[in-house]
């Protein structure tokens, strides 16, 4: 995915997502509730992305999303990455039901545009093929 973006000179994006309020849910309602939140948030994120994008849980309450081929223009790629992040934040903000209790979390997202010069600065063994 990354190598293809580099080869075609099209920006991608890396989104790192931290769930806000997750610890409170886990501590107040228990680990089963926390697990239910993680599963539901993951489903929401995956269902909102294109099939060529990748989402995964890094651990704890952190997720990562790799967006492929956003745009060849940097400003357009930045704008589209922000819209995707905003959509994910809105999805995280939707309350979910756990055994009759509404659970609420939010999300904070860091965004890094991926472009060719990032990979050219990496040592050769660390570069995508």
Integer CA distances (angstroms), 72 to 3, 5, 48, 75, 101, in order: 14, 9, 22, 9, 45
The catalytically annotated residue of 61, 71, 73, 97 is 61
Would you say how long the chain is, in residues? Answer: 129
Contact 95, 108 (CB under 8 A): no
Active site residue 53: no
Indicate which residues carry an active-site annotation.
61
């Amino acid at each position: 995915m990354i190598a293809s973006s580099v080869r075609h000179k099209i920006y991608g994006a890396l989104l790192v997502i931290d769930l806000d309020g997750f610890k409170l849910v886990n501590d107040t309602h228990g680990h089963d509730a926390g697990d239910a939140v993680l599963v539901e948030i993951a489903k929401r994120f995956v269902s909102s992305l294109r099939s060529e994008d990748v989402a995964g849980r890094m651990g704890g309450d952190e997720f990562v999303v790799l967006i492929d081929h956003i745009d060849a223009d940097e400003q357009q790629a930045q704008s589209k990455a922000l819209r995707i992040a905003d959509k994910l934040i809105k999805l995280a903000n939707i309350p979910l039901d756990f055994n009759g209790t509404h659970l609420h979390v939010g999300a904070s997202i860091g965004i890094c545009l991926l472009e060719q010069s990032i990979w050219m600065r990496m040592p050769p063994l660390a570069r995508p093929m």
